[in-house]
Amino acid sequence: MFDKLLGKKELEKHIIDLEAQIVELKSKNDSLIARQASKEETARKAISQKQIVEQELNISNKKIETLEYDILNFKKQVKDELNFSNISFISKQSINKYLSRINSFKSEDRGLITITLKNQESLSNQKNSNELLRYLDKDTVSLIDKIDSPTGLVIFYDTDRMVQEILAPYLPVDSSDWQINTGFDIGLPQSLIEQKVTLCIVLAHAGESFIGITQDSNTFLFHSIIRSSVKGKHTKGGWSQRRFEKLRTEDIRHHVEKVGSALKTMITDADNKIDYIIAGGDFKLVSMMLKDFEYSLVKRSFDTSVDKKNIDRILQEVWSCKRYEI
């Protein structure tokens, strides 16, 4: 009766409710403490990451400054270096007009020099080279020595410097000589472009190569793009890289064999004597592809990529001479 009067049961229930609230509040408190700790850890990591990023940024800025300095110096060096005033291509259709203009120059005092150089020969190893070099200024000699032409060079040089032209023909120069006279001698380049030849073209690349046969600048008698699946280069190290490179080597070997087989068939079908194989692209692959072929080989650099849309451009480049103006 006293319990009822004093409300003991209500007090006990109230105590239980309060204890339950305490437990709930402690749980919330623990959760808040954990969240606070997580935020503090995140903040700590963020500060640490910020420091790392700032350090990397400083390093990058220093590298940029260094590269900008190197580029500036490089530009200065390039500016100071001797360079040709122009480098261009002359198509077979335009070469006669070019040679006609060269032939029109005359000099009463015998000041026009014509020089022919075979591949890998220089001005200094020609007959009477000391006499020849007396006519040429040092800058001209330096520029000529810079040219790497697998077909050799034909040089037209006026001692009064009105004409300073260099021609890299599409067929190889077969003799080295020089003369000074009242006019330029266009006989050798003229004879080269008048030759009736059958050319086999090989542009070698891993996974995609071009082969073709042509007798003039108008068309290919036969042509084909040979494609194979060749894995790209692997950048990681270790066993994985060695295994990958082995598979890539196998892919390349398969592509080389595929091109070689297609080329044999094409030459047989053409039923024409091949005068030269003109090869470009990856010269290591070229050597592998042509190891069983016994034809005169001319290695040239091509600016045109292998693509079915570029067939006419490849043909044009095959039959073009490269012109250097001093």
Compute how many other C-beta atoms are within 10 angstroms of the C-beta atom of residue 131: 11
Architecture in CATH of 196-318: 2-Layer Sandwich (3.30)
What's residue 277's pLDDT?
Answer: 96
- Flag whether pLDDT at 69 surpasses 70: no
Per DSSP, which regions of 139-189 are E strands? 153-158, 164-168, 177-181
Joined tokens for residue 224 = 């084909």
Compute how many other C-beta atoms are within 10 angstroms of the C-beta atom of residue 84: 15
List pLDDT tens digits, range 219-265: 999 999 999 887 666 555 555 667 777 888 888 899 999 999 999 99
Map out the domains of the chain as residue ranges.
2-80, 86-193, 196-318
| % of the chain beyond a pLDDT of 90 | 48
Tell me which of 124 and 154 has the higher pLDDT.
Answer: 154
What average pLDDT does this structure show over 77-102? 83
Tell me which of 254 and 29 has the higher pLDDT.
Answer: 254
Identity of the amino acid at 190 = Q
Joined tokens for residue 112 = 């026009």
Give the separation between CA 89 and CA 172, rounded to whole angstroms.
16
Least confident of 4-18, 139-153, 189-203: 4-18
- Flag whether pLDDT at 292 surpasses 50: yes
List pLDDT tens digits, range 154-185: 999 999 989 999 999 999 999 999 999 999 99
What's residue 271's pLDDT?
Answer: 82
- Domain 86-193 maps to which CATH number in 3.30.1480.10, 3.30.960.10, 3.40.50.1820, 3.40.640.10? 3.30.960.10
Q: 7 falls in which pLDDT band (50, 70, 90)?
A: low
Compute how many other C-beta atoms are within 10 angstroms of the C-beta atom of residue 100: 11
- Flag whether pLDDT at 110 surpasses 50: yes
- Flag whether pLDDT at 285 surpasses 60: yes
Tell me which of 51 and 199 has the higher pLDDT.
Answer: 199
What's residue 53's pLDDT?
Answer: 72
What's residue 126's pLDDT?
Answer: 86
- Burial of residue 97 (CB within 10 Å: 0-12, 13-18, 19+) is exposed
> Angle 92-104/187-194 helices, nearest 10 degrees?
160
Q: Taking Cα atoms as reference points, which of 164, 174, 12 lies closest to residue 102?
A: 164
What's residue 2's pLDDT?
Answer: 43
- Kindly compute the dihedral angle of the four CA atoms of residues 57, 63, 65, 67, in this order, to the nearest 10 degrees: -150
Identity of the amino acid at 164 = Q
H or E stretch including 204? strand 199-204
- Flag whether pLDDT at 270 surpasses 90: no
**What is the pTM for the complete model shown?**
0.69
* DSSP code at position 231: P
